[in-house]
Amino acid sequence: MREESRIECIIFDMDGTVVDVPYDWPQIKRELDTQEKPILNYLEELNEPERSKKWNILKKHEKYATQKAVLKNGIVNFIQFIKKNEILTALVTNNSKENVAYLLKKFNLEFDLVMTRESGLWKPSADPFLKVFDHFSLSHKKCCVIGDSQFDITAARKAGIEKIFIINKDIKAFKEKGVEVYPSVKELRSRMTQMIS
């Protein structure tokens, strides 16, 4: 028997979730001197010429990491499995349209909806997720999020999403946060099979 609120849409994060990427975020934040603010929010508040200069630093790191990206083990089959179960897929990332297009093409991936930071909506605000609900005319109760970081959790919570799944080897780091954490796609897939089939 299916659960009453069967999931109809899965919102995926990209970096660290669909692909493994060599970002050193603490180092990037130090380099940009973000003063504990989310990077994109911090950059948007700057004045020129500092703004352009720092945006270019971020873009340089993103370009490097994107070129080095590899698919997360098992993720392609997992996405196929989700689609086979007639569940909508959305990719919501704070990365740029250019980098996302590069990765989707390189790894031959398709999502029903792709949202990048060019939308002007980014995590950790709920806005990109609210846009997904709107796009598919779905309630937050019908959507779940799969991510790898605190940003995904914060944004999902603000958007009222109850089912949050994190793929991260550092299980302990998320233990107190009331989300389900799995060390790899394999374990998450077992859980999803139980939830949606």
13 near Mg ion, judged by CB under 5 A: yes
Q: How far is the CB of 3 from Mg ion (least distance, A)?
A: 27
**What are the angstrom distances between the C-alpha of 165 and each of 99, 102, 193?**
24, 26, 13
Q: Does 15 bind Mg ion (CB under 5 A)?
A: yes
Q: Does 128 engage in binding with Mg ion (CB under 5 A)?
A: no
Q: Which of residues 149-168 bind Mg ion (CB under 5 A)?
A: 149
Shortest distance (Å) from residue 197 CB to Mg ion: 27
Residues in 25-54 at the binding interface with Mg ion, rule: CB under 5 A: none
Closer to Mg ion by Cβ: residue 16 or 82: 16
In the complex, what is the shortest distance from the CB of residue 23 to Mg ion, in angstroms, rounded to a whole number?
9
Candidates 15-23, 26-34, 117-125, 183-191; binding stretch for Mg ion (CB under 5 A): 15-23
Q: What is the C-alpha separation between 162 and 147, in angstroms, rounded? A: 14
Residue at shortest CB range from Mg ion: 16
**Of 50 and 118, CB closest to Mg ion:** 118
State which of positions 71-110 bind Mg ion (CB under 5 A).
none
CB atoms within 10 A of CB 72: 18
Residue 25 CB contacts under 8 Å (≥ 6 apart), including other chains: none
Q: Which is nearer to Mg ion, 16 or 128 (CB)?
A: 16
Q: Are the C-beta atoms of 91 and 108 separated by less than 8 Å? A: no
Give me the phi and psi of 72, to 5 degrees please: -70, 140
Angle among Cα 29, 163, 21 to the nearest 5 degrees reads 35
Q: How far is CA 147 from CA 46, 50, 123, 154, in A?
A: 28, 31, 11, 11
Of the candidates 16, 69, 111, 156, which one interacts with Mg ion according to CB under 5 A? 16
CB of 68 to Mg ion, least distance (A): 15
Binding of residue 62 to Mg ion (CB under 5 A): no
Q: Give min distance, CB of 16 to Mg ion, in A.
A: 4
Number of residues in the chain:
197
Q: Which residues pair with 12 in a beta bridge?
A: 91, 146
- Residues that bind Mg ion in the complex, under the rule CB under 5 A: 13, 15-16, 148-149
